[in-house]
Amino acid sequence: MARVAFIGLGNMGGPMAGNLLKAGHDVTVFDLSAQATAALAERGASVAESALAASADKDYVISMLPAGKHVTGVYLGDEGLLAALDAHTTVLDCSTIDAGTARDVGAAAEKLGIGFMDAPVSGGVAAAAAGTLAFMCGGDPMTFEKARLILADMGKNIFHAGPAGAGQVAKGCNNMLLAIHMIGTCEALEMGARHGLDPKVLSEIMSASSGRNWSLEVYNPYPGVMDAAPASNDYQPGFMVDLMVKDLGLAMDIAESGGVANRMGQLAQALYSEHQAEGNGAMDFSSIMQRLHTR
């Protein structure tokens, strides 16, 4: 059993903290929302008045926050959480944020002798609840060994991508590729359907051929092909367009700072931004299919 502080109990952090309680850890939580902390208290968590109070004398501090500014605020801001931690505490930030902020917080932690790891996730709310998330970690190997012990209670695949910031880079690469193959899958299915092919049959053909990919095989965007996919449920999320647009923005920063001409990624970002601007931000990201239906 480990002593854990969990900061940020939203759609993802709430179920993740719940799984740590289920695994028998001693969990202290903090969130700006009293409703969010109350839900975890009902499941056996202790509730703290601040992130700083939650983090005193813990084996792990885990955060799941919206964006880089929140992560900077919690760890390097007024409360000075990092500076107040015991040296044996390991900090795991699971938020999806820019790689630069992850490196900055990692460097500040290193100066203080504290193990820090950026550990963004793939899998969404369902995987957070099921404890089957994939974690992409950035930090030193010793911190990774300690991190995987606790991450295993919230996820199924735990990868060490490299030093601080590398987890965020891996996440940016993955989600840019996801956006590109989702759009490509939509275009291929629509093209076949307009020529009279049954999208189910076409999906079977491409899944057994060189066009196979996750969007086609696991998360098919054509309504009616897969009963459990958001496409067959009016594109209810799932993974919202708003979050994909956020992740594509982070991916563009990664590409630019690495000097990469990512034309397909830029096009995917433009298409998802248009789709969001037309009022579809809260829909599942596979709803990009609808833009093809109407043209």
Q: Which residues bind ligand NAD (CB under 6 A)?
A: 7-13, 30-33, 36, 51, 64-66, 70, 73-74, 95-96, 121, 124-125, 239, 243
DSSP string, 62-110: EE--SSHHHHHHHHHSTT-HHHHS-TT-EEEE-S---HHHHHHHHHHHH
C-alpha 180/C-alpha 182 separation (Å) is 5
102's enclosing H/E stretch is: helix 99-111
**Which single residue brings its beta carbon nearest to ligand NAD?**
10
Choose between 63 and 262: whose C-beta lies nearer to ligand NAD.
63
Choose between 20 and 206: whose C-beta lies nearer to ligand NAD.
20
Min separation Cβ 223 and ligand NAD, Å = 21
Choose between 192 and 265: whose C-beta lies nearer to ligand NAD.
265
Asked about 58 being catalytic, the answer comes back as no
Choose between 237 and 265: whose C-beta lies nearer to ligand NAD.
237
* Active-site residue, from 146, 171, 200, 246: 171
Contact 173, 181 (CB under 8 A): no
Min separation Cβ 261 and ligand NAD, Å = 26
- Please give the radius of gyration of the chain, using alpha carbons only, rounded to the nearest integer: 20
| Angstrom distances, CA of residue 51 to CA of 7, 71, 86, 98, 247 | 6, 11, 14, 21, 26
Min separation Cβ 106 and ligand NAD, Å = 17
DSSP class of residue 27 equals E
Min separation Cβ 9 and ligand NAD, Å = 5
Contact 109, 163 (CB under 8 A): no
Active site residues: 171
